[in-house]
């Protein structure tokens, strides 16, 4: 190139073209307008997000959703003009000598492209959607940071070119800030005021829904339509909806024949006794949320199972619209309110419905916060319905405790809150979903990476449990009942542990059976000791409808192929031998008659309660006589059977006094053993895979837990054997025996021996039992220190396993009692201040229990 040529001669044709011509200038004006609108809009969206991050509250109200819709619309609108302007402007300016302006402009254009691409990626189109949360987070932050970079690069670009006044931009930014502040601050203040008002109203439960403790946020009825939007949920949660459709929750209301029978009897009683059905509201807060919260339930004629309201069951919204658990009392003590929805949710227009779905998918955070709150992950959420007390308004008698999954779970070793369990898991199970909502593979829109496996999964809304009757009665698909059966199997363990000669509990004990098996003497009486141990349940087994659940031991004794004795067999019409050992609760009414039709309003007192806590055991004794004229080996099989409803109740709700009980029977666990008869060598059997110390320990636990005074001498013997086998569990549990017998010195010595074991005993158990010994010995300061250590979870091994004993209200009560007793030692005026301090703290601890 000739450097001596005039400058004009060196210009290429591109240099003669205006960088921004008249048409591009009009396009630029449009871009400035849209960008200014996007700036103000984005500032509002970010301000709301920031307010939520700081407060933890949800401020994405209806107006926010409209603003986000505007953000999507303007973003899509600006997309093509921005690309066209950038491309044309770059073409015109590419060979300009102002390299600083060109480089800044090129960087600006690439940044804007990245901004637009990240925005498109974040939109969840029907035909394209990125669901990986890490990728979405990456593109979100790209979308947040690139506008700031674009502003900075635009300033650099203009500073390298002709002078441009920034005053309009600064002025618009100031106006935008003011507008955002005016929009957001009142919203935040109103939200905080509403929350404070709701909290103050939580104590009032005497509104239109009493004696159920449930309430709506304004004590007004809710629209049934709002509570029955399962089809809307199905669009994004198809797999969840399919499993829920077969769940016991779905059939919790008048579409469940067993429940319908019971609640209709309660309603009939209420009309006869009180003139209305209000007493049966006790049931409806959990079982019948749609008719209950919409007001239909109070109509005495309500109850037709064909009515959509009475067959709605526990809908998606009925659970997910709950906003607060108001206390740990149960009986539906929660607050529910009409959920806030996205714009056009209820529109009949096809385009607006499509727009609603796109908005929901593009911005699901509002939906998540509305329908999946932190409380839904807490065991107290499930406990609000799976913990029951019977109010005087229902039984006309007094407050009585009913089923209570919540407290038995909370006080167990499984939850990590109970400080006095016999056994503990490797790590705490912090909620009910860990067992009853296992993860299922899914490609639902709402599926996520929950378990680190790389699979998309959802929580199973079949809620596998123990209701094997409903699927059978409904002729549900086979997989439904199989899920419940699989859940039940091996929930407990059966162990034929020992044999006592003479047929009494004082007889000589041969145990543990296997690998050695004693020979039987013809004509001798024997007592077979069978141990039941809970393995999987995190609450009492069975809990729930424990009065009509049918759980029993079936024992079959054979000599060769001939049955010579049995207990727990079924007769021709499906009834279980009434002399069987049942793991249920036998409830009585005022007249001493059995509660056999789920007539909760008549419950007066239990005759017995054979339920077993988590990580505990029971021992059942079976007496038999070896045949005097047999030489063939005698085999014994013991099965733990489960059936959801007994025959008496089945006949009641089917209204058929001759109905055969064909509900499925699940074998939860079984064990068998063969005894040789005298005259041969002692038998040998395969050794079990249960450690010997654990078999002895389970045996002792079952004996210790016996009603009244238990079988404490036998329990003491069992725990001594555990100690002989080198386990600290032995002396620890001996201390439990001695405490129950009042042998405090022996208990103290057992605990001292336990503390010297290697491996060491669980330290919180040592403190718990030592604290009880100290308290009964009057060593109150030491007992108080023991209890404080437990409540503070001052044990590294416990914290590593996710345990927190600060919520064990049994320990809290013991501490309160010890503090109260300690205050009595502060006598005289000079000790008034110390005495009051002990009393105040005792009061505070008892209040902690009530909370």
Flag the least confident range among 19-33, 219-233, 298-312, 439-453: 19-33
In a domain, 413, yes or no: no
| pLDDT tens digit sequence for 608-626 | 999 999 999 999 999 999 9
Is the domain of 16 the same as that of 99?
Answer: yes
Least confident of 203-217, 251-265, 287-301, 835-849: 203-217
46 & 86 share domain: yes
Are 245 and 270 in a shared domain? yes
3-class secondary-structure state, position 585? strand
Q: What is the dihedral of CA 119, 121, 123, 126, to 10 degrees?
A: 150
- pLDDT computed for residue 134 by the predictor: 81
Confidence of residue 1 (pLDDT cuts 50, 70, 90): very low
- What whole-number distance in Å separates Cα of residue 627 and Cα of residue 609? 34
**pLDDT-based confidence at residue 35 (cuts at 50, 70, 90):** confident
Query: Which of 187-196, 472-481, 615-624, 723-732 is least confident?
Result: 187-196
Nearest to 371 by CA among 253, 224, 233, 187: 233
Q: 205 in a domain, yes or no?
A: no
Q: What is the mean pLDDT of the chain?
A: 90
Instruction: Tell whether 381 and 476 lie within a shared domain.
Output: no
Residue 192 lies in a domain: no
Domain boundary among 689, 720, 754: 689
Q: Which residues contact 432 (CB under 8 A, 6 or more apart)?
A: 379, 382, 405, 409, 538
Give the pLDDT confidence of 719-744 residue by residue, as tens digits.
999 999 999 999 999 999 999 999 99
| pLDDT > 50? residue 517 | yes
Distance CA 154, CA 148 (A): 10
Report the CATH number at residue 595. 2.60.40.10
**Which of these, 562, 425, 436, lies nearest to 487 by C-alpha position?**
436
Residues 655 and 729 in one domain: no
Question: What value does the mean pLDDT take over residues 272-294?
Answer: 94
Residue 295 lies in a domain: yes
pTM of the shown model: 0.86
pLDDT at 8: 43
Q: Which two tokens stand for residue 426?
A: 């490797």
Last residue of a domain, one of 186, 205, 239: 186
Tell me, what's the pLDDT at 404? 93
Is the pLDDT at 553 greater than 90, yes or no? yes
pLDDT of 9 > 60? The answer is no
Q: Long-range contact list for 763-771, CB < 8 A, 24+ apart? A: 763/795, 763/797, 763/798, 764/419, 764/789, 764/790, 764/793, 764/795, 764/798, 764/803, 764/805, 765/419, 765/420, 765/732, 766/732, 768/419, 768/420, 768/811, 769/732, 769/735, 769/736, 769/739, 771/814, 771/818
Question: Do 685 and 705 fall into the same domain?
Answer: no
Read off the pLDDT of residues 384-435 as tens digits, 9 standing for 90 and up.
999 999 999 888 899 999 999 999 999 999 999 999 999 999 999 999 999 9
Q: Could you tell me if 663 and 716 lie in one domain?
A: no
232 and 281 assigned to the same domain: yes
Model confidence at 644, pLDDT cuts 50, 70, 90, reads very high
Q: Average pLDDT for residues 644-655, to the nearest whole number?
A: 96
The residue range of the domain holding 807 is 696-850
Is the domain of 701 the same as that of 807?
Answer: yes
Do 148 and 237 lie in one domain? The reply is no
Looking at residue 727, its pLDDT comes to 97
Instruction: Quote the CA–CA distance of 817 and 586 in Å, as a whole number.
Output: 33
User: pLDDT category, 666, cuts 50, 70, 90?
Assistant: very high
Does 11 have pLDDT greater than 70?
Answer: no
Q: How much is the pLDDT for 518? A: 94
The residue-averaged pLDDT of 27-39 equals: 84
Residue 513 sits in the same domain as residue 488 = yes
- Residue 301 domain-assigned (yes or no): yes
* Domain-located, residue 199: no
Per-residue pLDDT for 7 more than 60?
Answer: no
Length of the chain: 851
Lowest mean pLDDT among 7-21, 443-457, 809-823: 7-21
Tell me the pLDDT tens digit for each residue of 115-138: 888 888 888 777 777 777 788 889
Task: Report pLDDT for 430.
Answer: 94
Mean pLDDT confidence for 38-44: 84
Helix axes 647-654, 257-274, angle to 10 degrees: 70
**Residue 806 maps to which CATH number?**
1.25.40
CB atoms inside a 10 Å sphere around CB 218: 13
Look at residue 163 in the predicted model and tell me its pLDDT: 66
Looking at the structure of the chain, the number of domains it has is 4
Tell which of 689, 722, 743 closes a domain. Answer: 689
| pLDDT the model gives residue 479 | 96
pLDDT band at 4 (very low <50, low <70, confident <90, very high): very low
403 occurs within a structural domain? no
- The answer on 713 and 626 residing in a single domain is no
pLDDT in the model for residue 700: 98
Determine, yes or no, domain membership for 200.
no
Q: What percent of the chain has pLDDT over 70?
A: 94
Q: b/e per residue, 144-177, with b = 16+ CB within 10 A?
A: eebbebbbebbebbbeebeeeeeeebeebbeebe
CB burial of residue 564 (10 Å; 0-12, 13-18, 19+): middle
């Amino acid at each position: 190139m000739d450097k001596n040529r005039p400058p004009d001669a060196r210009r290429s044709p591109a240099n003669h073209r205006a960088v921004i011509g008249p048409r591009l200038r009009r396009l630029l004006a449009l871009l400035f307008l849209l960008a200014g609108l996007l700036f103000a809009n984005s500032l509002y969206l970010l301000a709301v997000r920031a307010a939520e991050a700081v407060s933890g509250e949800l401020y994405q109200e209806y107006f926010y959703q409209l603003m986000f819709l505007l953000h999507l619309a303007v973003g899509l609108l600006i997309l093509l003009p921005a690309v066209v302007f950038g491309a044309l402007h770059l073409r015109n300016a590419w060979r300009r000598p102002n390299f600083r302006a060109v480089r800044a402009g090129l960087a600006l254009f690439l940044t804007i492209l990245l901004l637009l691409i990240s925005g498109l990626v974040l939109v969840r189109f029907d035909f394209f959607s990125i669901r990986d949360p890490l990728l979405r987070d990456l593109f979100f932050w790209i979308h947040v940071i690139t506008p700031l970079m674009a502003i900075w690069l635009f300033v650099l670009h203009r500073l390298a070119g002709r002078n441009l006044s920034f005053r309009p931009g600064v002025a618009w930014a100031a106006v935008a800030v003011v507008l955002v502040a005016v929009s957001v601050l009142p919203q935040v203040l109103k939200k905080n005021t509403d929350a404070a008002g709701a909290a103050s109203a939580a104590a009032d439960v005497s509104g239109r829904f009493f004696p159920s403790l449930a309430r709506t946020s304004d004590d007004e009825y809710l629209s049934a339509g709002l509570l029955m939007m399962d089809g809307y949920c199905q669009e994004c949660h198809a797999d969840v909806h399919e499993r829920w459709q077969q769940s016991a929750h779905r059939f919790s209301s008048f579409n469940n024949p067993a429940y319908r029978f019971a609640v209709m009897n309660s309603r009939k009683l209420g009309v006869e006794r009180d003139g209305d059905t209000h007493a049966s509201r006790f049931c409806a807060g959990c079982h019948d949320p749609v008719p209950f919260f919409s007001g239909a339930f109070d109509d005495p004629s309500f109850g037709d199972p064909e009515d959509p309201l009475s067959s709605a069951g526990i809908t998606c919204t009925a659970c997910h619209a709950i906003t607060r658990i108001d206390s740990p009392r149960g009986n539906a003590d929660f607050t529910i309110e009409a959920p806030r929805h996205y714009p056009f949710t209820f529109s009949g227009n096809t385009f607006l419905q499509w727009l609603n779905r796109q908005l929901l998918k593009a911005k699901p955070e509002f939906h998540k916060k509305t329908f999946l709150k932190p409380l839904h992950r807490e065991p107290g959420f499930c406990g609000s319905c799976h913990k029951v007390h019977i109010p005087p308004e229902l039984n006309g008698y007094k407050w009585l405790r009913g089923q209570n999954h919540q407290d038995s779970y909370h006080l167990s070793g499984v939850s990590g809150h109970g400080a006095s369990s016999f056994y503990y898991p490797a790590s705490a199970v912090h909620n009910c979903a860990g067992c009853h909502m296992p993860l299922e593979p899914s490609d639902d829109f709402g599926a996520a990476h929950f378990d680190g496996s790389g699979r998309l999964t959802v929580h199973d809304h079949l809620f596998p449990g123990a209701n094997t009757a409903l699927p059978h009665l409904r002729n549900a698909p086979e997989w439904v009942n199989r899920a419940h059966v699989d859940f039940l199997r091996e929930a407990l363990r059966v162990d034929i542990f020992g044999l006592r000669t003479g047929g009494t509990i004082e007889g000589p004990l041969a145990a543990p059976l296997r690998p050695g098996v004693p020979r039987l003497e013809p004509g001798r009486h024997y007592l077979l000791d069978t141990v039941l141990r809970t393995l999987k349940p995190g609450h009492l087994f069975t809990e729930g409808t424990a009065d009509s659940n049918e759980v029993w031991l079936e024992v079959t004794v054979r000599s060769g192929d001939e049955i010579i004795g049995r207990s727990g067999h079924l007769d021709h019409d499906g009834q279980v031998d009434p002399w069987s050992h049942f793991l249920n609760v036998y409830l009585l009414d005022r007249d001493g008659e059995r509660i056999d039709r789920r007539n909760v309003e008549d419950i007066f007192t239990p005759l017995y309660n054979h339920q077993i806590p988590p990580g505990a055991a029971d021992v059942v004794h079976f007496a038999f006589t070896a045949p005097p004229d047999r030489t063939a080996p005698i085999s014994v099989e013991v099965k733990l059977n489960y059936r959801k409803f007994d025959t008496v109740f089945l006949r009641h709700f089917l209204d058929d006094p001759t109905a055969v009980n064909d509900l499925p029977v699940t074998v939860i666990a079984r064990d068998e053993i063969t005894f040789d008869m005298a005259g041969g060598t002692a038998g040998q059997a395969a050794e079990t895979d249960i450690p010997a110390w654990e078999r002895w320990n389970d045996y002792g636990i079952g004996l210790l837990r016996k009603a009244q005074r238990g079988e404490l001498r036998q329990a003491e013997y069992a725990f001594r054997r555990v100690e002989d086998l080198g386990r600290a569990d032995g002396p620890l549990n001996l201390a439990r025996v001695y405490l129950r017998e009042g042998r405090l010195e022996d208990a103290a010595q057992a605990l001292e021996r336990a503390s010297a074991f290697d491996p060491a005993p669980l330290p919180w158990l040592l403190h718990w039992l030592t604290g009880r010994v100290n308290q009964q010995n009057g060593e109150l300061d030491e007992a108080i220190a023991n209890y404080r250590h437990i409540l503070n979870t001052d044990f590294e091994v416990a914290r590593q396993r996710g345990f927190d004993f600060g919520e064990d209200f049994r320990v809290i009560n013991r501490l309160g009692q010890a503090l109260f007793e300690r205050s009595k030692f502060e006598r005289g005026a000079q000790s008034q201040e110390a005495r009051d301090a002990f009393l105040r703290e005792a009061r505070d601890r008892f209040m902690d229990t009530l909370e």
